[in-house]
Amino acid sequence: MTNKAFAILLIANLTLLSLLSGCSTTSGPAATADAPAEQNGDPPPVSSPPPDGDAASADAEPERAPSPGLSVGQRAQNAVEGMVLGAVIGAQAGPIGAAVGAGTLLVYAAITGHVPLSGGNAPARDSRDDEEVREEELEEELDREVARGDDLENQIEAELERQEQLLEQMRSEDEARKAAARGAAPAPAGAGDLEKRADPRIAPAAPEERELPLAIFEKEEKTIPKGEWGNPRELEVIARSLDADEDGRPEQVRYFDEQSGAYLRMEQDRDYDGRIDSWQDYEGGALVRRTLDEDADGDADAWEEYRGGRMTSREVDRNRDGTRDAFYSYEGDSLVLERHDGNDDRAIDLVVKYENRLRVTLEEDRDRNGQMDQWTHYAAHGEQELIERIERDTDGDGRADVFERYDATGGEPVLARREEDKNGDGQIDITSIYKNGKLVRREINDPELVPL
């Protein structure tokens, strides 16, 4: 008997579920008990005013409003889940309890669309769950981080481009200065070489300092021992280093007095090979000395001094043997004196003097015995100088015994007269006359020199 009752209740529940499933043709959850009257053509009943009082409100309120957001299929699914849940719960009281529980929760779930103990209403299945929201928020945050990263990368690229332009400018300026320095100190071997080469007759201006922001320099406190820079006492300085290519070897280091802030010295790597090749000393903020390594061997080979923004002297080691062998002196803005050691014996064997940027005399030790033996005098002809007179010491007694005079012909010096003291008595013994550079007459004043 019990089994029959359970079967009857189960069949009734399934029949009710089938009826609910067949309601898909209705107008939805908004349909009411008044709908059949409208379908039969009868006019809808006139609504009466709602009754007053709490009892009327309680009678008007349904047990649980149907979920308007569910389809018929979803309601059927919820009804099945409610029936199963009711059967499980009612089974605790036996088969009849299981049948009653299944029927009760089936009807409840079918009407309300809510399955008891399911943890939420079915409509929540149509909304985005928390995980999806969190994923969207995370994606938005990632997008913002990517945008910030792109902006930072653009800023870095712009700064790198600016630094590259600065380095290129520094390279161009330093290469031009280095090329000028190389061309300023050729090695003359004699008067002919001096005539052919371009003399540095204008005093070079002090190299200009580029204004660079201190923010790009690394700051460090240092102690300079006595005598390291030729300083008479120990110095406390602030060193500011610029490593533009970030190779760990600065291209420029500037030194300032720690107390006064005075600019003292600058060291540079002009060819960017990682080694300092220029040392500049300052007094009162102005350049006074500069030492250069022009062949990148690590040893200085040029020494310059400046006053009033102009070079006053330049000394060069032309053959890079560690000995200075060329010396240039300037007054005002013009070269006034050159001295050269052509054979590295530490003795000057060529001296050139200038006036108004034109040569006036040239002295040479042609046999390299440490004594001058030829003197060349120049005369100005417009903006150039031409040889006017040459005197030679041919016997090595330190006195001239041959005298040549030149005429300016077609802008060139041409030999016109030669006088010779053959016996060293200070008297002219032979006089030769030239025309257009060719001998036309010779006079012999010493009878002992007349051929028989």
User: Residue 406, CB half-sphere, CA atoms under 13 Å: how many?
Assistant: 19
Q: What is the pLDDT of residue 187?
A: 40
354 three-state secondary structure: strand
Choose among 177, 167, 169: nearest CA to 304.
177
Q: What is the pLDDT of residues 334-381, one digit of tens each?
A: 999 999 999 989 999 999 999 999 999 999 999 999 999 999 999 999
Q: Residue 58, by phi and psi: left (phi above 0), alpha (psi -120 to 50) or beta?
A: alpha
Per the listing, tokens 């610029």 go with: 242
User: Cα separation of 225 and 237, whole Å?
Assistant: 11
Which tokens is 242 given?
């610029």
Q: What is the pLDDT of residue 13?
A: 56
Q: What is the pLDDT of residue 185?
A: 36
Q: What is the pLDDT of residue 117?
A: 64
- The answer to whether 297 touches 316, Cβ cutoff 8 Å, is no
- The answer to whether 84 touches 99, Cβ cutoff 8 Å, is no
Provide mean pLDDT across the span 137-164: 86
Q: What is the pLDDT of residues 46-87, one digit of tens each?
A: 444 444 444 333 343 444 444 445 677 777 787 788 788 777
Q: Mean pLDDT in the chain?
A: 78
176 three-state secondary structure: helix
Which tokens is 128 given?
């985005």
What Cα–Cα distance (Å) separates residue 280 from each residue in 191, 249, 254, 302, 332? 34, 18, 9, 12, 21
Helix 72-90 vs helix 2-21: crossing angle, to nearest 10: 160
Q: What is the pLDDT of residue 441?
A: 93
* Chain-centroid distance, C-alpha 189: 46
- Report pTM: 0.55
Q: What is the pLDDT of residues 16-36, one digit of tens each?
A: 555 555 444 444 444 333 433
- Segment holding 169, helix H or strand E: helix 130-183
Q: What is the pLDDT of residues 72-83, one digit of tens each?
A: 777 778 778 878
User: Cα separation of 257 and 2, whole Å?
Assistant: 111
Q: Where are the beta strands (DSSP E) in 132-277?
A: 218-224, 235-242, 252-257, 263-268
Q: What is the pLDDT of residues 93-147, one digit of tens each?
A: 777 777 777 778 777 777 776 766 665 444 444 455 678 888 888 888 888 888 8
Q: How many residues make up the chain in this entry?
A: 452
User: Cα separation of 419 and 391, whole Å?
Assistant: 10
Per the listing, tokens 């051929």 go with: 451
Residues 6+ away with beta carbon under 8 Å from 355: 336
User: Cα separation of 398 and 422, whole Å?
Assistant: 15
Amino acid at 41: G
**Helix (H) and strand (E) counts in the chain:** 7, 18
Which tokens is 224 given?
């300079």
- The answer to whether 286 touches 279, Cβ cutoff 8 Å, is no
- The answer to whether 243 touches 251, Cβ cutoff 8 Å, is yes
